[in-house]
Chains A and B, each alone.
Chain A
């Protein structure tokens, strides 16, 4: 096997191979001679991984999906933070922080999408925006009045604090699952790291909201993490389908020995809580559709 020949073969099909891989042809020409034969497959694999990742269009689509969710969340918190007598005074600083983070995510994603040559998503009624990033009063109905299933649940979302907290929990958990669902698209791209950084921030938000509900005595005693697939209300089960997965990379987590506490194996509750499961674009969009105005 001759490394230069491989590159020549690729060059016949893709004349830009050298530019894609490093832009420095002469280095690659001498590459084969300098890399130990045993490590060649790994060196070549990692080199091409970066050059031939997912196409930019797919990445932009995924980023625009994320941007759509960030607009959704920003508008939700913006309305809540500007509604008197809704959020407990002691929790108000946290929700202002969350709104600021969602705003930062919107700006970051717009910049990233633009840099990649894409067109950033704009919510419906974008022209009615009253702030930047847009607070768009006509884009969302978080009380979901047009939906017979959601309306009885979310009717008091901006008048009743426990209802607001249920909505916030569900939106944050779903947001995290949405990012998890797009990570495959970002593999081999620096955006993977940034998407993880955003997902981590959203994880902190979810924990904050869930701990408030726990301390307020919510009936299912929510932990800051998702235990099994337990929703805040049974009627919101659809947001948590698949969260009770106990198998990772083909390994059954509940079969693993519990080395430290000596209780036998990893308990199922923790095996599920230890991983936030992905949710795909179609599922997430169908879950939030009842809150989006036409």
Chain B
């Protein structure tokens, strides 16, 4: 198992996927990679969870809006929107960082190897995936905060992230703003912080110790 401990978490799970022995898997899980970032516990962990998600978004749109890596055929109006998205996610990200102070995790290292930034469909599809994840995460985090002042502040971000998702979805496929994300009660998605973080890690190189993240 020494070799497994040396590779990244993503590679680890790719390897682990082929392992059927549960005992073997559990044994491997006990060792954390050396550069793992600890999220903290309780409200701090939740704040770092949201900070990581918004960092991911900020870095995604920073790359998508940078001259030279914008998707082919981006119109002026589209560039304005992508730039808006970048700046709003920076606002969210820096807001969370400011609240966290010394407890903030460092700037995360992203992995956008799954994204072809020159391709409009790839950018908008991945943007929708990320935005929908953030909506799900904000929805589950709200009631987990002990300090309810936080819940009240972040609830104002939920509908904005949903606006973002709808924009990239409708830009890709008209009228698809809520396709497959709204249930029969008309409710948008909610997933546990752990599930959302695990899904977001497909875009993140940094590894996290989220063992104390409320769920």
Whether A274 contacts B62 in the complex (CB less than 8 A), given A104-B186, A224-B81, A261-B87, comes out as no
Additional A-B contacts beyond A108-B187, A197-B139, A261-B86 (13; CB < 8 A)? A187-B148, A190-B143, A192-B142, A193-B190, A196-B188, A200-B135, A200-B158, A200-B162, A214-B77, A225-B84, A248-B156, A256-B91, A269-B84
Whether A251 contacts B160 in the complex (CB less than 8 A), given A104-B184, A196-B139, A270-B84, comes out as no
Chain A CB within 10 A, most for which of B77, B94, B153: B94
Chain B hits for A190, CB < 8 A: 143
Chain A hits for B148, CB < 8 A: 49, 187-188
Q: What is the size category of the interface that chain A forms with chain B?
A: 35 or more
Segment of B27-35, B112-120, B165-173 in the binding face: B165-173
A45 nearest in chain B by CB position: B146
Segment of B7-15, B17-25, B175-183 in the binding face: B175-183
Contact of B94 with A224 in the complex, beta carbons under 8 Å: no
A107 nearest in chain B by CB position: B185
Does residue B155 face the partner (Cβ distance < 8 Å to A)? yes
Contact of B156 with A207 in the complex, beta carbons under 8 Å: no
A94 nearest in chain B by CB position: B175
Chain A hits for B94, CB < 8 A: 253, 256-259, 266
Does residue A46 face the partner (Cβ distance < 8 Å to B)? yes
- Map CB proximity to B onto A63-82 as digits: 1 under 8 Å, 0 otherwise: 00000000000000000000
- Map CB proximity to A onto B30-71 as digits: 1 under 8 Å, 0 otherwise: 000000000000100000000000000011001001000000
- Map CB proximity to B onto A161-197 as digits: 1 under 8 Å, 0 otherwise: 0000000000000001001100110011110111011
Write the nearest CB–CB distance from A219 to chain B, whole angstroms.
Answer: 14
- Ordered by A's residue number, 30 sampled pairs between the chains whose C-beta atoms are within 8 Å are A101-B178, A105-B186, A107-B185, A108-B185, A192-B155, A197-B190, A198-B186, A199-B158, A199-B159, A200-B188, A201-B178, A201-B182, A201-B187, A204-B182, A211-B167, A221-B77, A223-B84, A248-B95, A253-B94, A256-B98, A257-B94, A259-B58, A261-B87, A266-B87, A266-B91, A270-B91, A273-B84, A274-B91, A274-B92, A278-B156
Residues of chain A having any CB pair with chain B under 8 Å: 42, 45-46, 49, 90-91, 93-94, 97, 100-105, 107-108, 176, 179-180, 183-184, 187-190, 192-194, 196-208, 211, 214-215, 221, 223-225, 227, 248-249, 251, 253, 256-261, 266-267, 269-271, 273-278
Q: Which of B90, B157, B171, B189 contacts A197 (CB 8 A)?
A: B189
Chain B hits for A223, CB < 8 A: 80-81, 84
Chain B hits for A90, CB < 8 A: 174
- Map CB proximity to A onto B181-210 as digits: 1 under 8 Å, 0 otherwise: 010111111100000000000000000000
Chain B CB within 10 A, most for which of A101, A227, A261: A261
Residues of chain B having any CB pair with chain A under 8 Å: 42, 58-59, 62, 65, 77, 80-81, 84, 86-95, 98-99, 107, 135, 138-140, 142-143, 146, 148-153, 155-167, 170-171, 174-175, 177-178, 182, 184-190
Chain A hits for B190, CB < 8 A: 193, 197
A108 nearest in chain B by CB position: B185
In the bound complex, what is the Cα–Cα distance between A292 and B194 (angstroms)? 45
Chain A CB within 10 A, most for which of B62, B153, B186: B186
In the bound complex, what is the Cα–Cα distance between A208 and B171 (angstroms)? 10
Contact of B93 with A194 in the complex, beta carbons under 8 Å: no
Write the nearest CB–CB distance from B91 to chain A, whole angstroms.
Answer: 4
Chain B CB within 10 A, most for which of A90, A214, A223: A223
In the bound complex, what is the Cα–Cα distance between A214 and B164 (angstroms)? 15
A273 nearest in chain B by CB position: B88
Contact of B99 with A249 in the complex, beta carbons under 8 Å: yes
